[in-house]
Amino acid sequence: MSAVRMDGKALSAKVRGSILAETEELKKQGVTPGLAVIIVGNDPASEIYVRNKERACEQCGFYSEKYALPEETTQEELLGLIAQLNESPAISGILCQMPVPKHISEQAVIDAIDPKKDVDAFHPVNVGKIMVGNFDFVPCTPAGVMELLDEYKIDPKGKECVVVGRSNIVGKPMSMLLLHRHGTVTICHSRTQDLAEVCRRADILVAAVGKAGFITPNMIKEGAVVIDVGINRNAEGKVCGDVAPEVMEKASYMTPVPGGAGPMTITMLMKNTLKAAKLQNGIQ
C-alpha cells in the first residue's frame, strides 16, 4: 500500500481562485482587502516568505503594502508603524514577519497589532477565542491542515489524533481545531515518554517538530493519516519534512514536503485577510 498524496498545491490554487472571485464581488461594494507585511532586518528565509505573500496578494486581487525596515530599527519605531497601520482604512490585515531582531520583543509586536487586523491569529485575544471555539481567525498552518482534511473527506470526529509539537504557532492551535471537530487529541513534545508508542495510536498524526525525518515508519499505525508540517533541509540541502519518506508506504493519506501543508499556509493568510476586510466593513 502507498498513501494517497494530499496535494496542497492543487488545493491552494482552488482556494485562491474562490478568494479572487469573492474579492471581485467585494470590490463592487467598494471594499478591497489590504495586507501590510513588515519585515525587520534581512533574514533570507523571511525575505522569500514575504515575496510569496506579495505574489499571493496579487493572485487574490488584494491591495498590499510592504515595509522593509533596517536591522537597527528600534522597538518604539516598529510599534509606531503598527499603530499607524491599525488606523489605516486601506489595511485589513497586518503581519510582522518573525523572527524580529533580538532587541525587539516578539510578544510586544504581537500585542500591538489590533486583534481585528491580526491575520496571523497570534494576539492573545485571538488565541483565547480559538481556545473557546468562537474564533474569527486561526493561525495559517493549522487552518491549512484542516482544509486539507476536509478536501480529502477525512473527519477527525471520534478519531485518535496525535500532534507532535506544542508551539504556539502550530501545535497548540492544531490541537484545539481537532478537538473542536470532536477528535480525541494527544499533544506530544520533547518530554513525552515513549513517543513512538503514543504516535502508533494515532488515526491522524500531525508532525510539527522541525526535525528532518523525525517520524519513522515504526512510529506509525498501518493506514494512519499523516500530516507533515515540517520544513527542514537534509544533509544534502534538500527541503524535507519531519516525516521520513518511507512512511508513505504505511500511511493511507500523507502530505508530501514540499507541496503538501506548505502551500496552504499563505493561502490561509489570504483567507484570513479576506475575512478581516469583510468583518471591518460589516459584510457577512
What are the residues whose beta carbons fall under 8 Å from the beta carbon of 198, sequence distance 6 or more? 162, 186, 188, 192
Calpha distance 136→146 (Å, rounded): 15
* CB-count burial class (<10 Å; 0-12, 13-18, 19+) for 252: middle
CB 109 within 8 A of CB 79: yes
Residues 7, 97, 228, 271: which is the catalytic one? 97
Calpha distance 22→29 (Å, rounded): 11
Q: Return the SS3 of 222.
A: coil
Residues 53, 116, 172, 275: which is the catalytic one? 53
Residues 7, 114, 120, 203: which is the catalytic one? 120
Per the annotation, the verdict on 194 as an active-site residue is: no
* CB-count burial class (<10 Å; 0-12, 13-18, 19+) for 108: middle
Task: Write the DSSP string, 101-150.
Answer: PTTS-HHHHHHHS-GGGBTT--SHHHHHHHHHT--S---HHHHHHHHHHH
Q: How many CB atoms lie within 10 A of CB 43?
A: 17
Per the annotation, the verdict on 242 as an active-site residue is: no
CB 40 within 8 A of CB 104: yes
Per the annotation, the verdict on 120 as an active-site residue is: yes
Catalytic residues: 53, 97, 120
